[in-house]
């Protein structure tokens, strides 16, 4: 059977980004238009495979006629929009967002955030050594992955991946309010007592290293984690007939982590517990 | 979705309280009934019912509400832990919430041992005030003091407050005297009603001053159905109590106005969302809804302690059973509002104007909530444009050191700025009508710190500028107050003000530095 698309062709919308006319299809976002124009825009909570929640506010741009800055990741383009991505106002807000995050969260494994912080000359130290942080103990309550919420920027990506965007398991959600808001199972119970199915799709979307394979965590604790010594092997998961692609991260002849390509049209970066964590038999010697 | 429900079961009392909201469970095999998924909007009422019965939301109650409404437990926990008045740890059935906010602090509020400190309870005319919540078979909430002073103005001077000032029985439909304006609306037809309201120039009284007629037209013209009407009665701006006085004293007028607005905009269902701290308003509205002859279905919804739920999209989230996290706009509520449908959101005072406009009284008046160091605190109604000084004289204000207009999201005025007219174009925001007088003995530094603390407590936590910015703002102000500064704190505060104003999702973050900045620049409190 041939599938014929019956939707009308999409209208083209023209807007101006940093003085350059850009044409994108209707329904695109300002971020899409920036990409089309070759303008790099910092993003943290945005994920290619996730519904934009526009909470980090690092992607804000100036839209002429708007009272406040607007989040480029979710604001849809309209004809005639005039957008500035590098004005003093935009740079100040982006710098402040990065200073606020860097002063309250451990960004040591958040490569993108570190790069943006340098680019925007963020000075988180201006808030002093006594500035409130989200520092806390690492949660190690199962053999597969750890949760270090000292590194959590509350981007909601794990919640989305666990929920309707990917897994539909709903084991975690944002709980609490304000600076006390945090990612949590019901009543903060340990993962083995929660609905978690250990698909690890939350780990796949975490941009800061707050969620991490136990194998990676252990190697890092021992000072042995070394990405320069790792190779990535692309293969197909052997457990069922879906054919999920696996990327095996191998260090010293051992699988230390498993990911799946985001751009794969079947899995979009997702796996189940078997593909994600079921690799021990490979290294049973 | 395959729900795992590991939580303990409810007690009989909790089960009965939740069943009273969601209905008795049909006999089954204990599995989750997925057809109940569309009833998630009953989650907050169910959690409230459990807490009012036993004093807190236990694991058993949370699990039972989750199961009955098909909400994942982690999700339900996220909702329960969002609201300040829901307790997730066991506590006594009786709890005293003592207001420590601006107006009560001016009157020497102190929190006794065992009591909880509370943000503004909307009882500013009787400050210092508190609220006692009593859980049990007959749960109650009791304001302390239980009643305030009578309205300071005589009936002849007022329009919106006429029945209240005249002492008309707010529980009696007969005393209210008939729904004349609603009858008039039905004679005119929806289009004509919208035209008259639009031409009256009525502006929203909740703080943003948006033209009511434009909002109504936008919703009336939406093809998507149904349309919803939401009356925003979640007034939580520190110093604001006007909507409470109207709901307690003239509930039939609000219900009539809701019926007119719904008729004019094609809404078949209306919600009144009232903050939890207003028990008498709940009682009076329920009575009025039950007695009024209405075509539209009007439902009372009650919050659970969250200032941010006064933001219209956070309010939708709250009614729908989610965390009260504001949505990004656009799309605006007139297109995509409650349950994703076109929605009219109007403040109580805005709606209260509508019957008067339809009956030909087009005078433009506003309600002002006067509190602080004045001889006659209370709610005043004045024609727009009246000088602020006239209001201060009416209320018997002490010679002020400062006046706060518009609440924590408003701005401070100096003693030499008190001749401004109270109008929408005076250059300062009237916001929700707060006029708080700080006398010569008032500690303005404490007031500024309390405002910063308020925003830090009330931020929903969704976006970075507000979640972390309100914390950093309070920290910097406390360093300034203590003299232990780090570099240029004023530059830091100005940067924080800019990022919160420019990059926050909603009005809470966008105004979280307004009053603080005005205190520094205008009053030179904690200034360079």
Whether the CB of B456 is below 8 Å from some CB of chain A: the reply is yes
The CA distance from A250 to B236, in Å, is 56
Q: Confidence band (pLDDT; 50, 70, 90) for B26?
A: confident
Task: Find the angle CA(B28)-CA(B33)-CA(B37) to the nearest 5 degrees.
Answer: 155
Q: What is the pLDDT of residues B61-81, one digit of tens each?
A: 999 999 999 999 999 999 999
Please check whether residue A171 touches B, CB under 8 A. Answer: yes
* CA B239 vs CA B144, B378, B403: distances in Å: 16, 11, 12
Residue B148 pLDDT exceeds 80:
yes
Contact A273/B at CB under 8 A: no
Q: How confident is the model at residue B30 (pLDDT cuts 50, 70, 90)?
A: low
* Residue keyed to tokens 């079947």: A266
- Which residue reads 């095996």 in tokens? A248
Partner A contacted by B524 (CB < 8 A): no
Are the Cβ atoms of A174 and B502 closer than 8 angstroms? no
For every residue of B40-101, DSSP letters joined together read: GGGHHHHHHHHHHHHSS--HHHHHHHHHHHT--HHHHHHHHTT-TT--SS---SEEEEEE-S
Q: How confident is the model at residue B4 (pLDDT cuts 50, 70, 90)?
A: low
Quick check: A116 and B423 in contact, CB under 8 A? no
Q: CA-CA distance, B241 to B236, in Å (whole number)?
A: 8
Q: Using DSSP bridges, classify how beta strands A182-184 and A173-175 pair: parallel, antiparallel or unpaired.
A: antiparallel
Chain B residue numbers touching A123 (CB-CB < 8 A)? none
The CATH fold of domain B444-522: de novo design (two linked rop proteins) (1.20.1440)
Mean residue pLDDT of chain B comes to 95
Given a cut of 70, the residues of chain A with pLDDT beneath it are 1-6, 285
pLDDT digits (tens, 9 = 90+) for B393-448: 999 999 999 999 999 999 999 999 999 999 988 788 899 999 999 999 999 999 99
Digit-coded pLDDT (tens) for B317-362: 999 999 999 999 999 999 999 999 999 999 999 999 999 999 999 8
Given an 8 Å threshold on Cβ–Cβ distance, is A97 in contact with B502? no
Shortest distance, CA A155 to any CA of chain B (angstroms): 9
Q: Where are the domains of chain B?
A: 12-80, 94-144, 155-358, 366-437, 444-522
> B38: pLDDT confidence band, cut at 50, 70 and 90?
confident
pLDDT the model gives residue B428: 82
Contact B465 A93 (CB under 8 A): yes
Coil, strand or helix at B325 = coil
The domains located in chain A, with CATH, are 8-129 (3.10.20.740), 145-283 (2.20.25.90)
Q: Å from B72 to nearest chain A CA? A: 6
Output the pLDDT for position B366. Answer: 96
CA distance, residue B149 to nearest chain A CA (Å): 36
CB contact under 8 A, A57 and B81: no
Query: With contact defined as beta carbons under 8 Å apart, do A258 and A278 qualify?
Result: no
A62 to chain B: nearest residue by CA? Answer: B502
- CATH of span B366-437: 3.10.20.600
A128 to B475: CB separation less than 8 angstroms, yes or no: yes
pLDDT digits 0-9 by tens, B163-206: 999 999 999 999 999 999 999 999 999 999 999 999 999 999 98
- Kindly report, residue by residue over B375-395, the tens digit of the pLDDT: 999 999 999 999 999 999 999
A180 touches chain B (CB under 8 A): yes
User: Judging by beta carbons within 10 Å of its beta carbon (0-12, 13-18, 19+), is residue B46 exposed, middle or buried?
Assistant: buried
The CATH fold of domain B94-144: Glutaredoxin (3.40.30)
Q: Is B494 on the interface with A (CB under 8 A)?
A: no
* pLDDT at residue number B1: 46
> Taking CB atoms and an 8 Å cutoff, what residues of chain A touch B78?
173-175, 184
**What's the average model confidence in pLDDT over B449-457?**
98
Give the mutation candidate from A162, A177, A179 for the B interface (greatest B CB count, under 10 A): A177
Chain A residues in contact with B471 by the CB 8 A cut-off are 104, 132, 179
Contact B59 A187 (CB under 8 A): yes
Q: How many angstroms separate the CA atoms of B515 and B454, rounded?
A: 12
- The answer on pLDDT for B6 being more than 80 is no
Q: Quick one: pLDDT band at residue B36, thresholds 50, 70, 90?
A: low
| Residue B33: pLDDT over 80 | no
Q: What is the pLDDT of residue A285?
A: 67
List, as one string, the DSSP characters of B239-304. T--HHHHHHHH-HHHHHHHHHHHHHHHTEEEEEEEE-TT-HHHHHHHHHHHHHS--SSEEEEEE--
Instruction: Find out if CATH 3.10.180.10 is the number for domain B155-358.
Output: no
> Looking at the predicted structure, is the pLDDT value of residue B307 above 90?
yes
Residue of chain A whose Cα is closest to the Cα of B63: A186
Question: What is the structure's pLDDT at B198?
Answer: 97
Q: How far apart are CA B114 and CA B444, in angstroms?
A: 28
Rounded to whole angstroms, the Cα distance separating B364 from B349 reads 12
> CA angle A34-A40-A41, nearest 5°?
80
């Amino acid at each position: 059977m041939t599938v014929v698309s019956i939707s009308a062709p999409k209208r083209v919308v023209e807007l101006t980004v940093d003085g350059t006319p850009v044409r994108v299809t209707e329904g695109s976002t300002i971020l899409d238009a920036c990409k089309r124009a070759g303008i790099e825009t910092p993003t943290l909570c945005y994920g290619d495979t996730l519904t934009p929640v526009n909470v980090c506010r690092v992607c804000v741009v100036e839209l002429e006629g708007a009272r406040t800055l607007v989040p480029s990741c979710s604001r849809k383009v309209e004809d005639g929009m005039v957008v500035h991505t590098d004005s003093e106002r935009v740079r100040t807000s982006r710098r402040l967002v990065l200073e606020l995050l860097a002063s309250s969260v451990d960004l040591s494994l958040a490569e993108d955030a570190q790069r943006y912080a340098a680019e925007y000359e963020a000075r988180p130290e201006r808030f002093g050594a006594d500035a409130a942080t989200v520092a806390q103990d690492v949660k190690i309550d199962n053999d597969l992955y750890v949760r270090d919420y000292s590194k959590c920027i509350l981007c909601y990506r794990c919640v989305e991946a666990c929920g309707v965007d990917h897994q539909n398991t709903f084991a975690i959600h944002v709980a609490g309010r304000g600076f006390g808001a945090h990612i949590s199972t019901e009543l903060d119970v340990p993962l083995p007592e929660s609905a978690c199915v250990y698909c690890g799709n939350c780990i796949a979307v975490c941009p800061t290293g707050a969620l991490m394979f136990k194998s990676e965590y252990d190697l890092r604790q021992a000072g042995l984690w070394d990405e320069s010594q790792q190779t990535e092997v692309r293969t197909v998961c052997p457990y069922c007939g879906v054919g999920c692609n696996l990327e095996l991260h191998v260090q010293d002849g051992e699988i230390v982590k498993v990911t799946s390509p985001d751009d794969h049209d079947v899995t979009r970066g997702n796996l189940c517990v078997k593909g994600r964590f079921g690799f021990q038999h490979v290294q049973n010697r | 979705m395959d729900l795992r429900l590991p939580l303990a079961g409810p007690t009989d009392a909790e089960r009965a309280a939740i069943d009273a909201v969601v209905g008795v469970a049909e006999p089954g095999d204990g599995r989750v009934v997925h057809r109940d998924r569309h009833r998630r909007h009953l989650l907050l009422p169910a959690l409230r019912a459990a807490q009012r019965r036993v004093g807190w939301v236990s694991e058993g109650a949370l699990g039972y509400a989750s199961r009955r409404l098909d909400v994942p437990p982690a999700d339900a926990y996220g909702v329960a832990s969002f609201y300040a008045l829901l307790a997730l740890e066991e506590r006594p059935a009786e709890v005293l919430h003592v207001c420590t906010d601006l107006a009560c602090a001016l009157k020497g509020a102190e929190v006794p041992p065992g009591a909880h400190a509370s943000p503004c309870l909307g009882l500013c005319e009787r400050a210092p005030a508190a609220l006692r919540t009593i859980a049990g078979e007959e749960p109650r909430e009791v304001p302390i003091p239980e009643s305030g002073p009578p309205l300071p103005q005589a009936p002849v001077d007022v329009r919106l407050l006429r029945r209240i000032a005249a002492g008309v029985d707010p529980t009696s439909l007969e005393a209210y005297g008939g729904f004349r304006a609603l009858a008039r609306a039905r004679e005119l037809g929806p289009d004509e009603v919208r035209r008259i309201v639009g031409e009256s120039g009525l502006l929203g009284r909740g703080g943003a001053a948006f033209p009511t007629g434009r909002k109504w037209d936008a919703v009336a013209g939406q093809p998507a159905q149904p349309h919803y009407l939401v009356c925003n009665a979640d007034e939580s701006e520190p110093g604001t109590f006007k909507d409470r006085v109207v709901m307690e004293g003239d509930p039939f007028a609000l219900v009539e106005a809701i019926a007119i607005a719904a008729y004019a905009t094609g809404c078949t269902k209306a919600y009144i969302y009232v903050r939890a701290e207003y028990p008498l308003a709940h009682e009076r509205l329920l009575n009025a809804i039950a007695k009024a002859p209405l075509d539209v279905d009007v439902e009372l919804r009650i919050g659970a302690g969250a200032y941010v739920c006064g933001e219209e999209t956070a309010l939708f989230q709250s009614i729908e059973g989610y965390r009260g996290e504001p949505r990004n706009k656009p799309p605006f509520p007139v297109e995509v509002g409650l349950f994703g449908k076109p929605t009219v959101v109007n403040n109580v005072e805005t709606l209260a104007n509508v019957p008067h406009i339809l009956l030909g009284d087009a005078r433009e008046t506003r309600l002002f909530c006067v509190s602080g160091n004045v001889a006659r605190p209370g709610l005043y109604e004045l024609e727009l444009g009246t000088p602020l000084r006239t209001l201060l004289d009416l209320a018997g204000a002490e010679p002020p050191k400062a006046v706060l207009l518009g609440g924590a999201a408003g701005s401070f005025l100096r003693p030499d700025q008190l001749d401004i007219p109270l109008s929408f174009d005076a250059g300062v925001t009237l916001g929700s009508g707060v006029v708080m007088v700080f006398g010569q003995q008032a500690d303005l530094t404490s007031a500024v710190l309390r405002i910063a603390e308020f925003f830090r407590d009330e931020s929903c936590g969704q976006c970075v500028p507000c979640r972390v910015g309100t914390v950093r703002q309070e920290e910097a102000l406390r360093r300034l107050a203590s003299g232990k500064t780090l570099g240029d704190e004023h530059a830091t505060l100005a940067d924080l003000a800019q990022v919160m104003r420019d990059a926050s999702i909603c009005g809470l973050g966008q105004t979280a530095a307004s009053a603080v900045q005005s205190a520094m620049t205008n009053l030179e409190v904690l200034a360079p």
